[in-house]
């Protein structure tokens, strides 16, 4: 019997769970490992050179420990910076998560699109190039949020966050000019769909209805392109989460992880 492939899903924290969920739904028959570099969270505030070195170091240890057949970097802040170096250094294929500017700009009717990401992601040359190449004559507003990833983590960990704090982080996404209004918002940080899908906060706090674009389903499709579809008869395999801080998850976090089908595993040696 052929052994099930292993997929490693990596993020700075809990945001990558939004990608993990789609990958797990598309390939329930693979061995899935979720790794959160929570010891270094938030990536959005790290210096670029320090972050490149950190991601390479952590990835080397995770690859040595888990021998994945494919790695999903479920983090825009890391993917827009360090994917070329990861691909150069390691043989395993990497699927990155980058702002979904192309589908957003081709779907927008009002031609007003906002990209909501960490301050680091919206500053990256990678993001600016995506807009130049795939902007489709849209006016794209870049909104760097200093706190939204942390607010999403706090909510998931059971620490309530006020509507006012979330509304303040997303307000600049809503632009009205000459009778037109923003109709599409790219969620360019994997933490933000936690606030949308799981916690139903973004839609409620939007200034008017918009189409929020979550890249996770497209990433799962890319994984299937590379590894093939699930084997129909295979049973789902247990998945586990690793936290580089080595901190044991609280009861609330363990319950949240369980909602994603994850048990917390042994800490990574980072
Ligand atoms: N989840 C990460 C992303 O997609 C960023 C959060 C952080 O700042 O660590 O960009």
Pocket of ligand 1 (CB under 6 A): 11-13, 15, 41-44, 75-77, 118, 121, 149, 189-191
Domain boundaries, the chain: 6-97+217-264, 101-214
- pLDDT of 249: 87
Which of 9, 75, 216 to mutate to test ligand 1, by most ligand atoms within 8 A of the CB atom?
A: 75
- Identify the burial level of 53 via C-beta atoms within 10 angstroms of its C-beta, where 0-12 means exposed, 13-18 middle and 19 or more buried: middle
pTM above 0.75, yes or no: yes
Distance CA 5, CA 32 (A): 9
CA distances from 227 to 23, 27, 92, 200, 230 (A): 11, 9, 12, 32, 9
Distance CA 95, CA 140 (A): 25
Residue 35 Cα to ligand 1 midpoint, Å, equals 13
Question: In ligand 1, which atom is closest to the CA atom of 15?
Answer: 1
Secondary structure of the chain in HEC code, one letter for each residue: CCCCCEEEEEECCCCCHHHHHHHHHHCCCCEEEEEECHHHCCHHHCCHHHHHHHHHHHHHHHHHHHCCCEEEECCHHHHHHHHHHHHHHCCCCEECCCCCHHHHHHHCCCCEEEEEEEHHHHHCHHHHHHHHHHCCCCEEEEEEECCHHHHHHHHHCCCCCCHHHHHHHHHHHCCEECCEECCEEEECCCCHHHHHHHCCCHHHHCCCCCEEECCHHHHHHHHHHHHCCCCCCCCCCCEEEEECCCCCCCHHHHHHHHHCCEEECCCCCC
Q: What is the CATH number of domain 101-214?
A: 3.40.50.1860
Task: Give the residue whose CA is nearest to atom 2 of ligand 1.
Answer: 75
- Where the chain has pLDDT below 70, the residues are 1-2, 199, 234, 265-270
Residue 149 Cα to ligand 1 midpoint, Å, equals 6
- Report the Cα 86 to chain-centroid distance in Å: 17
% of the chain beyond a pLDDT of 90 = 83
Distance CA 19, CA 79 (A): 13
Residue 79 Cα to ligand 1 midpoint, Å, equals 10
Question: In ligand 1, which atom is closest to the CA atom of 191?
Answer: 1
Which of 10, 14, 15 to mutate to test ligand 1, by most ligand atoms within 8 A of the CB atom?
A: 15
Q: Same topology for domains 6-97+217-264 and 101-214, yes or no? A: yes
Instruction: Tell me which of 75, 105, 138, 173 is the catalytic residue.
Output: 75
- pLDDT of 3: 78
Between helix 125-134 and helix 76-89 the angle, nearest 10°, is: 100
Q: What is the CATH number of domain 6-97+217-264?
A: 3.40.50.1860
Question: In ligand 1, which atom is closest to the CA atom of 121?
Answer: 10
Q: Which of 253, 257, 223, 149 is nearest to 193 (CA)?
A: 149
- pLDDT of 138: 98
CA distances from 233 to 29, 33, 236, 237, 240 (A): 9, 21, 10, 12, 22
Question: In ligand 1, which atom is closest to the CA atom of 12?
Answer: 9
Q: For strand 6-11 and strand 211-213, is the pairing parallel, antiparallel, or unpaired?
A: unpaired
Residue 13 Cα to ligand 1 midpoint, Å, equals 7
Instruction: Tell me which of 105, 138, 173, 189 is the catalytic residue.
Output: 189
Residue 75 appears among annotated catalytic residues: yes
């Amino acid at each position: 019997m052929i052994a099930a492939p292993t997929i490693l899903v990596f993020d700075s924290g809990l945001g990558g769970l939004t990608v993990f969920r789609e990958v797990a739904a598309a390939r329930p028959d693979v061995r899935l490992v979720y790794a959160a570099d929570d010891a270094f969270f938030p990536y959005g505030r790290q210096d670029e050179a320090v972050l490149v070195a950190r991601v390479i170091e952590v990835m080397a240890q995770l690859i040595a420990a888990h021998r994945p057949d494919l790695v999903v970097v479920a983090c825009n802040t890391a993917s827009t910076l360090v994917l070329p170096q990861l691909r150069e250094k390691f043989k395993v294929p990497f699927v990155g998560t980058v702002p979904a500017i192309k589908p957003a700009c081709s779907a927008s009717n009002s031609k007003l699109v906002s990209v909501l990401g960490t301050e680091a992601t919206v500053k990256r040359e990678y993001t600016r190039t995506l807009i130049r190449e795939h902007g489709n004559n849209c006016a794209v507003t870049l909104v760097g949020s200093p706190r939204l990833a942390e607010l999403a983590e706090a909510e998931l960990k059971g620490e309530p966050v006020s509507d006012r704090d979330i509304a303040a982080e997303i307000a600049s996404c809503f632009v009205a000019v000459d009778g037109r209004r923003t109709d599409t918002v790219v969620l360019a940080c994997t933490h933000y769909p936690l606030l949308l899908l799981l916690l139903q906060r973004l839609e409620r706090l939007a200034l008017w209805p918009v189409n929020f674009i979550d890249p996770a389903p497209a990433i799962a499709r890319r994984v299937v392109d590379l590894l093939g579809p699930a084997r129909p008869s295979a049973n789902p395999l247990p998945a586990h989460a690793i936290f580089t801080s080595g901190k044991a998850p609280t009861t609330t976090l363990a319950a949240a992880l369980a909602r994603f089908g994850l048990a917390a595993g042994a800490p990574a040696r980072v």
